[in-house]
Structure 1
Amino acid sequence: MKKIVLMVIILLLTTGAAVSKKQQDEMTALASTLVGSDMEVEDWEVIIKEQVSKDKVKLLIEKLKTKNSQLVTSEDDENSIKYSFGNIYKNNQFSETYNVVIPKNTKHQAQFTVVIKGSSWNKSIEKEYLKQVKSIKNDFFTDNSTKFACLTTTLSGKLGSVYFIKRMKKSLNLQNIDEQSDTVENSMLNKVVYGYTPLWDQKITIMDKPMNLQLAFKDIENGKTKLTIGTPILITEY
C-alpha cells in the first residue's frame, strides 16, 4: 500500500500542479467536514513548497532572518546546505518552520518549504491561520508553489468509514472515488480512499481522472479508527 502511495507522490512531483485562484482554503474546508460531529481535529499540517533560483535564494534567506528572530539550524553536507527558521505563532496556537535546501549540484534549484502545524482547531485558530498563510504566500511564494494540507481525527461508535465517506461526498462534492484495501497480514491500516473535489484547482491526474483528496483509515484500540485526510495527497506518515 505504501509503495502505491509513494508512486503517486512521485507522479505528482514530476507532473506538477497548476495553481490559480481557488474557491476555498484546503485546510479550512477539511476541518469543516468535522463540524457538527463527535470528531475533533487532533493534528493538522499545511506544507507549501516551491523551487527557488540561485539568484533569489540569498535574498530569501536574508528576508527570513529579518522576519524570524532566530536561525534554528544550519547544516552543510556533501550534497546540500540546509537552513531552518522557526516561529511560534500567537499563544502557541500553531507553529511555523521555514526550510531552505540549497543543492551543491548547480544543475538543481533550491527548494523552499514552509510547514505550518498545530494540535487543535477552532474558529480563533482558523482566523489566525488564514491571516498568516495569506501573509506567507504574499511574502515568499508565487503562483508556482504547491500546497499540501492534512489533518487527523478519530472515528468511533456509529461514525464508521462508510458513513464518513458519504459525508465527505456531500460536503466536498467528492467524485472519482476509488478505494484500496490493505491486504498485508497484521497491518493495522484498513484502507485508503482517493477522490476528487472541484473545490480546489490543484490536482493530479491518474488514468485520465483528476484526484486531489486522500483518506487513510487505520484501526486503533477499542474498535476506534484513526483517520488521516490530505490534499492533494498525503505526504506525511499515517
Structure 2
Amino acid sequence: MKKIVLMSIILLLTTGAAVSQKQQEEMSALASTLTGNDMEVENWEVTIKEQMSKDRVKQLIKKLKTKNSQMVTSKEAENSIKYSFGYINKKTNINETYNIVIPKDDKYQAQFTVVLEGNSWNKSIKKDYLNRLESIQYDFFSDKSTKFACITTTLSGKLGSVYFLNRIKESLNLQNIDEQSDTVENSMLNKVVYGYTPLWDQKITIMDKPMNLQLAFKDIENGKTKLTIGTPILITEY
C-alpha cells in the first residue's frame, strides 16, 4: 500500500530541526523506546532538509568538496542539477549522504538534504550520532530546517503489535491516536498508527490536531511483524 500520508503535508510542519534542551532528541528517544523493551534496532535513518538560496548551496558544494573528495555523482536533468556526496565513517558505522538539488528556474530555491543512517544502535553509536548531528546542523543548516527520524525493528512472540503499541503509548505519552487498517486484498501492511507526543517540537496539524509520530506494522514471514516508526511522519517506504 502506498503511504497514507502524502509527502505534500511535509509543508505543514510548524517548527525547525533545532533541539530543545527540555525535550528529547527524536532518534535517541525512539531508539531508547525500542532497546528499553529488549528489542533490536535493525535500521535507523535521520534526514535533515532545508530550502536555500542558490548562492548558499554553491558555498556548501565548495565546502563539501574541500572536506570530502568522494563526490558520488553530479547529474544534470531537464529542470535541475543534482550533486551527491557520500561518506562512511568506519569508526562509528554511520553513513552520511549529502544531496543538493539546484533548479534551473531562478524562481525556485535549491534544496539541501543530509541523511545519517546505520544498522545498529548502542551507547557508543548514540554518542557519535549526537556529535555528528550537532556538527552538521551547526555547519550547514539554520533553524528553518526540518528533521525526520525513522527506525525499524521486528516484533515476534508475545511482543506483538498490540502489546508494543500499548508500551509506546505509555513511554511517549502518545495522544490524538488514530489507527488505520489496510483493507487492500493480499496486502501485508496491516495497520498504520498516527499520534502526537509532547516530547518533540516538530508537528503537523491535521484537522486542528497536532501529529508527530507514525507507526507502520507490516506482516512478514513466520508470523513476525516489521515495525517502522517515524517522526514527524514516515518519508521512507515501509
1:91 is aligned to 91
Q: Any unmatched runs of 5+ in structure 1?
A: none
Following the alignment from structure 2 to structure 1, what is the Cα–Cα distance between the partners of residues 40 and 201?
Answer: 27
Q: Deviations over 1:131-171 (max 9, x none)?
A: 00100000000000000000100000011111111111111
1:10 is aligned to 8
Letter in 1 for 2:14: A
Q: CA RMSD of the aligned region, Å?
A: 1.3
Letter in 2 for 1:186: N
Following the alignment from structure 2 to structure 1, what is the Cα–Cα distance between the partners of residues 28 and 69?
Answer: 28
2:141 is aligned to 141
Following the alignment from structure 1 to structure 2, what is the Cα–Cα distance between the partners of residues 33 and 160?
Answer: 15
- The structure-2 alpha-carbon separation of the partners of 1:230 and 1:171, relative to structure 1 and needing over 3 Å to count, comes to same
Letter in 1 for 2:9: L
Answer whether contact 1:17 1:146 (CA < 8 A) is retained.
no
Answer whether contact 1:48 1:146 (CA < 8 A) is retained.
yes
Letter in 1 for 2:81: I
* Identity within the alignment, %: 77
- Residues 42-81 of structure 1 correspond to what in structure 2 (within 5 A)? 42-81=42-81
Letter in 2 for 1:30: L
SS at match of 1:216: strand
Answer whether contact 1:103 1:110 (CA < 8 A) is retained.
yes
Kindly state the Cα deviation for residue 77 of structure 1 after the two structures are TM-superposed: 1.4
Following the alignment from structure 1 to structure 2, what is the Cα–Cα distance between the partners of residues 90 and 106?
Answer: 39
- Residues 201-212 of structure 1 correspond to what in structure 2 (within 5 A)? 201-212=201-212
Q: Deviations over 1:2-34 (max 9, x none)?
A: 25322xx31222x33213542111101000011
1:217 is aligned to 217
Letter in 1 for 2:224: K
Answer whether contact 1:101 1:111 (CA < 8 A) is retained.
yes
Q: How many residues align?
A: 235
1:129 is aligned to 129
Q: Any unmatched runs of 5+ in structure 2?
A: none
The reply to whether residue 191 of structure 1 matches residue 188 of structure 2 is no
Q: Deviations over 1:31-68 (max 9, x none)?
A: 00112434200001000000110221211111111222
SS at match of 1:164: helix
Following the alignment from structure 1 to structure 2, what is the Cα–Cα distance between the partners of residues 18 and 88?
Answer: 30
Answer whether contact 1:26 1:231 (CA < 8 A) is retained.
yes
1:150 is aligned to 150
Following the alignment from structure 1 to structure 2, what is the Cα–Cα distance between the partners of residues 78 and 179?
Answer: 41
Kindly state the Cα deviation for residue 92 of structure 1 after the two structures are TM-superposed: 5.5
